[in-house]
Amino acid sequence: MSEQILGIHHVTAIASDPQRNVDFYAGVLGLRLVKRTVNFDDPGTYHFYYGDETGTPGTILTFFPWPGAARGRHGTGQLTTTSFAIRPDSMGFWVDRLRSQGLAVEGPSTRFSEEVLEFEDHDGLRLELVADAAVASRAAWEGGPVDPEHALRGFHGVTLSEEGYESTAELLHKQMGFQVAGSHGSRFRYVAGEGESKAHVDVLCLPAGREGTLGAGTVHHVAWRVADDRTQLHWRTRLADLDYNVTPVMDRQYFHSIYYREPGGVIFEIATDPPGFMIDESRESLGTGLKLPPWLESRREVIEDILPPIEVPTAGAAK
CB 64 within 8 A of CB 77: no
pLDDT value at 63 more than 50: yes
C-alpha 193/C-alpha 89 separation (Å) is 25
User: pLDDT by residue (tens digit) across 139-148?
Assistant: 889 899 999 9
319 pLDDT band (50/70/90 cuts)? very low
pLDDT value at 14 more than 50: yes
Q: Note the pLDDT of residue 315.
A: 65
Please give the mean pLDDT across all residues of the chain: 95
CATH code of 8-306, in short, is 3.10.180.10
Q: Note the pLDDT of residue 138.
A: 87
pTM confidence score? 0.96
Mean pLDDT of 276-298: 96
Mean pLDDT of 263-267: 97
The lowest-confidence range among 58-72, 136-150, 264-278, 304-318 is: 304-318
Nearest by Cα to 195 from 60, 39, 58: 58
CB 120 within 8 A of CB 128: no
Residue 242: CB atoms within 10 Å? 12
User: pLDDT by residue (tens digit) across 104-115?
Assistant: 999 999 999 999
CA triple 185-120-75, angle to 5 deg: 50
pLDDT value at 161 more than 80: yes
User: pLDDT by residue (tens digit) across 41-51?
Assistant: 999 999 999 99
CB 250 within 8 A of CB 260: no
Largest Cα–Cα distance of the chain, in whole Å?
A: 54
Positive or negative, the CA dihedral 198, 248, 47, 56 is positive
Question: Rounded to 5 degrees, what are φ and ψ at 196?
Answer: -65, -25
CA triple 267-268-272, angle to 5 deg: 140
C-alpha 162/C-alpha 168 separation (Å) is 8
Q: Note the pLDDT of residue 316.
A: 53
